[in-house]
Structure 1
Amino acid sequence: MKVLCDRERLREGLALVQSIVPTKSTRPAIENIYLAATDDALELVGTDLEVSMRYRLDDVKVAETGTALVPGRVTADFVRDLASDTVELSTDGEHLTIVGGADTCTLSTTDPDEFPTAALVRFESTGALSIQGGNFAKLVSRTSFAAAKEQGRYAMHGILTLVEDQVLRMVATDGRRLAVASTPIDDTGAPRRAIVPTKAMQAMCRVIDDTLEQISLQFSDNQVGLKTRAAEIFARVIDGEFPRYAAVIPAETSKTVEADADLMAKKLKLVSNVTTADARAVKLTVAEKTMSIRGRSSTSGKAESQLDIDYKGEEAEIAFNPDFLLDGLRNCETDLVRLEFNDRTSPGKFTLGENYIYIVMPITADA
């Protein structure tokens, strides 16, 4: 294999692929990046056995075709720190040589046949749906923060992705809060459903470098694939039962608050400073024109702040974990945030944008 590449394009591709390559694995071969030089392109492939990425560089000069399995981190780091405009990659037996100007690096390689063949699968366009890249990335950003991170129900470690009635919907929950966002799409195929690991969704977003590009999304029995002009990503879907999220969303509410989203976030952050990890709660008291936010802890003391609101309903109070509220407000896409609820024991429904809601379960607090 011998190929000449633009250094910046190669650096970008190696960084993206290396981002999913494990630093340590019981299968040492997947700690490497698979290089394949064809007649007119260089392809970079990496996997952690749950997520696989193929990145294609077209603007290259291939003197000799071939494949190589190279140390991912070292290769990416060396190319990143080169100062040359172009980089030459060549293999000789069990070694890869990287040349950039006067700088050279020779690395030991691994037999390419040891790389998992499942990671070398190619995107199948038949039956794929098309969506603007920016819209896909926005759905992931709107929901991923609510997915479970701690050990627990495995299905909650992913984003439920649904295609039905010409709508693409994503849902994420950790059992205490729930984010739901959707966007219309031009698709008349059969309904599709998959729980995609959150880290896979985030990797898919990283390869979308043009928000206006139409990307392709493909569902199969055990994986979901995404294709852009330069990259293909495949993620093994999570086999589990996702919570029945629709049952948590209040159908009707008796109390509605509208507040300035930025101001509410500042007030919440201010008051939450006195709360502690074992008593992470703030109480919201709402009346006709005012919201009072109170927090306290036995060790730190107490704090209170107020802000003007528009409110419909009787005077009421409800308590939440302030971190959950701040997560939602950071993702709010409108100047005003709407909170709807029924009583202190019912879920709070936050409207954060068009086709975008966030449900937070209340907690018991003395404040």
Structure 2
Amino acid sequence: MIIVNKDDISSAVKQAKAMIKPSLLALENSLRFTAKQSRLFIRTNSGGVRFTTMIPCKCDKGKIDFIISVRLISSTLPFFTSESVEFIPDSRKKVVLLKSTELQVELKTIPLEVWASCKPRANWNIDVPIKADTLAYLVERTAYASDTKDSSDNRAMLNFSITSEGILNVTGLDLYRFAICTSKDKMDDFTKMSFTIPVKTLQAILPYLKDEEIVHLKKYTNEYAITSKRVAIYGHTPAADYYNIASYLTKYPSNSIRVDRKIFLRCCEVAAITNRTKISINIGENLMEISASGNGGKVENRMKIDGVVKSKFCVNPLFIMDILKKCPDQEIQMFYSKDGTRPLFFRGNDHIDMVLPIRC
């Protein structure tokens, strides 16, 4: 028998359910419950990603192990209103009884054999600790660059890499842009590494790491893990060559201007009212004009700059606005080419963002 707090088990099941992708396989639509002494582990194995969360419990045996359909358990728990819920598995009937003072429900279990080949790795050759709030900031700052409507599952990724100097970089990259954000904390004990994780997986797990102090990034060949005291997620990483963009970073256009982020964002927002797919940016010696025309009419905005080299280019306003909204700096440096055909780079204190121009 296992006794758990009703709010704890409801929250844990909700976390685990968020990590499950719809599938016809029983394994991928189920939760595994494993009780050991005073801890209950709830695990998923869906879409190539394994997730684990832990809650306190009371267990009258050394170990209790069973698997239940996530649909059955998530739809049953809301009917329990008492403070605690008892789980009483019956291996002979292949069911588990959920019991409280006012209600009891029997749920059919799934054979444990389906989970036999899905045991998470115990040993990792790379294990990097990072502050949970730092990880959340880096992901939030770069995820937008891998989240366009044209992003396929194999492109909607974030790359984690540690340089030879012990600096953690997180990179988001898509067909039209990329974003790099750098951790301000230098790591004392580190190993140079690189791996990628799906954006949706990270966005699903981060809310449950907010109460954690330290998170561990782990890697072994093509396997990765993000673990804390309470939560863990495991998966396989695709090749990192797609994110090898170091050559771009050494090829900034030679011309640059510094612009006020809020004013620039406001000008782009106004221009996007007329045309949401293309705006024109015309850089003069002392002024920069942001204009657009479309069915709604024509818009021209001007802002003061200290520009020297003239240039004109067209961009998707949504991509520019994404960068300006995420940037924490008051002023941002924009690098551009004279002919307006090379990528635009936006550089701040701890980040680099890039947008490709489009045909005018």
TM-score normalised by L of structure 2: 0.88
Deviation, 1:240, is 5.9
Instruction: Please tell me the residue identity of whatever aligns with 1:146.
Output: A
* Aligned counterparts of 2:109 and 2:153: Cα–Cα separation in 1: 36
Aligned residue number for residue 9 of structure 1: 8
Deviation, 1:154, is 7.0
After superposition, what is the alpha-carbon deviation per residue over 1:287-341, rounded to whole angstroms, capped at 9, x for unaligned? Answer: 45543221223xx143314253433323432211111112212211123333221
Deviation, 1:117, is 3.0
Conserved? CA contact 1:158–1:195, under 8 Å: yes
Instruction: Please tell me the residue identity of whatever aligns with 1:246.
Output: A
Conserved? CA contact 1:286–1:292, under 8 Å: yes
- Provide closer, same or farther for how the CA distance between residues 341 and 149 of structure 1 changes in structure 2, counting only shifts above 3 A: closer
* Structure 1 counterpart SS, 2:44: strand
Aligned residue number for residue 120 of structure 2: 121
Deviation, 1:127, is 4.1
- The correspondence for 2:87, drawn from 80, 86, 89, is 89
| Alignment of structure 1 residues 191-210 onto 2, 5 Å | 191-210=192-211
* Aligned counterparts of 2:227 and 2:192: Cα–Cα separation in 1: 20
Instruction: Please tell me the residue identity of whatever aligns with 1:304.
Output: V
* Aligned counterparts of 2:334 and 2:172: Cα–Cα separation in 1: 19
Aligned residue number for residue 133 of structure 1: 132
Deviation, 1:179, is 0.6
* Structure 2 counterpart SS, 1:312: coil
| Alignment of structure 1 residues 279-290 onto 2, 5 Å | 280-288=277-285, 290=287
Aligned residue number for residue 271 of structure 1: 271
Instruction: Please tell me the residue identity of whatever aligns with 1:229.
Output: K
Instruction: Please tell me the residue identity of whatever aligns with 2:135.
Output: F
* Structure 1 counterpart SS, 2:135: helix
* Aligned counterparts of 1:51 and 1:116: Cα–Cα separation in 2: 16
Instruction: Please tell me the residue identity of whatever aligns with 2:278.
Output: A
Aligned residue number for residue 68 of structure 1: 66
Aligned residue number for residue 42 of structure 2: 44
TM-score normalised by L of structure 1: 0.87
Conserved? CA contact 1:217–1:225, under 8 Å: yes
Deviation, 1:220, is 0.8
| Structure 1: gaps spanning 5 or more residues | none
| Structure 2: gaps spanning 5 or more residues | none
* Structure 2 counterpart SS, 1:216: strand
Aligned residue number for residue 355 of structure 1: 350
* Structure 1 counterpart SS, 2:106: strand
Deviation, 1:32, is 0.5
After superposition, what is the alpha-carbon deviation per residue over 1:55-84, rounded to whole angstroms, capped at 9, x for unaligned? Answer: 111x21113441111111331243256433
Percent pairwise identity: 15
After superposition, what is the alpha-carbon deviation per residue over 1:133-182, rounded to whole angstroms, capped at 9, x for unaligned? Answer: 11112111122221266678875332222112211111121121011111
The total of aligned residue pairs comes to 353
Aligned residue number for residue 254 of structure 1: 255
- The correspondence for 2:54, drawn from 37, 53, 56, is 56
Deviation, 1:43, is 0.5
* Aligned counterparts of 2:101 and 2:147: Cα–Cα separation in 1: 47
Greater CA deviation, 302-311 or 108-117?
Answer: 302-311
* Aligned counterparts of 1:307 and 1:76: Cα–Cα separation in 2: 55
Q: Structure 1 runs of 4+ off > 4 angstroms? A: 148-155
After superposition, what is the alpha-carbon deviation per residue over 1:197-220, rounded to whole angstroms, capped at 9, x for unaligned? Answer: 223333442331226x11111111
Deviation, 1:50, is 1.4
Conserved? CA contact 2:124–2:219, under 8 Å: no
* Structure 1 counterpart SS, 2:60: strand
Aligned residue number for residue 143 of structure 2: 144
Conserved? CA contact 1:123–1:232, under 8 Å: no
Aligned residue number for residue 325 of structure 1: 320
* Structure 2 counterpart SS, 1:78: helix
Aligned residue number for residue 174 of structure 2: 174
* Aligned counterparts of 1:307 and 1:154: Cα–Cα separation in 2: 39
* Aligned counterparts of 2:148 and 2:329: Cα–Cα separation in 1: 27
- The correspondence for 1:296, drawn from 293, 299, 306, is 293
* Structure 2 counterpart SS, 1:327: helix
* Structure 2 counterpart SS, 1:109: strand
* Aligned counterparts of 2:123 and 2:87: Cα–Cα separation in 1: 30
RMSD: 2.5
Conserved? CA contact 2:124–2:220, under 8 Å: no
Deviation, 1:41, is 0.8
